[in-house]
Copies of this chain bind each other. A is one copy, B any other.
Amino acid sequence: MNGIFIKILLSLAIFTNAAAAADSLPSWNDTAPKKAIVAFVENVTREGSPTYVPVAERIATFDNDGTLWAEQPIYFQFLFAIDRVKTLAPEHPEWKTREPFASLLRGDMKSALAGGEHAMLEIIMGTHAGTTTEAFEKIVSDWIATARHPQTKRLYTQMVYQPMLELLAFLRANGFKTFIVSGGGIEFMRPWGEAVYGIPPEQVVGSSIKTKYEMRGDRPVLVRLPEIDFIDDKAGKPVGINSHIGRRPVAAFGNSDGDLQMLQWTTAGEGPRFALLVHHTDAKREFAYDKGAEKALDEAQEKGWTVVDMKHDWKVIYQPAKR
């Protein structure tokens, strides 16, 4: 026990230093969003104050794509799926003539996606199902360790937003439990979420396909089935939060219309609440776009939610790349 006790004391020392530090958010400019975050955290942690929130209730939920890491030119999980189509093609000769796979294999993304949601689903099911959960975890881990973004040439984990990493750490140092609540695949995020964000698998909520328990000889496995289990997006986000967390967050962070209901659900609770949208305004350092975030940005203005203007509010977007 002694070893553990010392470790905890050490981590506490770090913890109090972090929280007491003059600036736990060094990559944030000293503009309104940073001030709003710091004021909220002070309000909920000030004991005896009417805005105090007990530690057990300090739940903060974060969208992933476009909120914790970039999502252009397309969700990174979809780039993973395309790489999987290429890898798996020799085992699927029928893909040469079957859409959307045929177009993808020719490098014609536009035609591949012409089928819309149905085409996306085909690609996900063709690349995310059929393995055991253990095998899929290894596939994701190997890909995330080596694949690089087509434009920045960075590892995808080097396209996480440094200011958001600081925010996650700042909240945790103040007693918050941080969760991912993403439309992305839960099994796509878990293998690297702990190392990159400090968010353990049990605090990741996402979309999922069904799994089935079966014995292979003496060994039980969970097999991933080509069947949607849950879509953790839009009105699905409060449903996923209720299912996995079982209490309403006091703070929620998103960037698009897919996060709107999560922010509504979070702010509809009693007591102090915090809602923040990351607004992609920095064409030079990241990407500039409002598409798919119009409703959320309107409602943020109407309700006084915090909006981060990436260009003006963030000193740094990504950590310096290690190659």
A244 to B133, CA, bound (A): 14
**Chain A residues with a Cβ under 8 A of chain B:** 1, 3-5, 8-9, 12, 16, 19-20, 45, 47, 55-56, 59, 133, 174-175, 177, 186-187, 190, 194, 200-204, 208, 211-214, 219-220, 222, 229, 235-236, 238-239, 242-247, 261, 264-265, 268
Are B242's CB and A222's CB within 8 A?
A: yes
Are B133's CB and A242's CB within 8 A?
A: yes
Main secondary structure of the interface of A (DSSP, over half): helix
Name the one of B3, B55, B211, B214 contacting A242, with C-beta atoms under 8 angstroms. B211
Are A1's CB and B261's CB within 8 A?
A: no
Are A239's CB and B264's CB within 8 A?
A: no
Contacts of A219 in B (CB 8 A): 268
Cβ of A19 to closest chain B Cβ, rounded Å: 5
Are A56's CB and B4's CB within 8 A?
A: no
Query: Taking A5-B16, A201-B246 as contacts, is the C-beta distance between A261 and B190 under 8 angstroms?
Result: no
Cβ of A226 to closest chain B Cβ, rounded Å: 16
Known: A186-B246, A202-B247, A213-B265. 19 other contacts (CB 8 A): A1-B19, A1-B174, A4-B47, A5-B16, A8-B12, A133-B242, A187-B246, A190-B246, A202-B244, A202-B245, A208-B243, A211-B242, A213-B236, A213-B261, A219-B268, A220-B265, A222-B238, A222-B239, A244-B244
Query: Taking A133-B242, A222-B238, A238-B222 as contacts, is the C-beta distance between A201 and B265 under 8 angstroms?
Result: no
Contacts of A204 in B (CB 8 A): 246
Contacts of A212 in B (CB 8 A): 235, 239
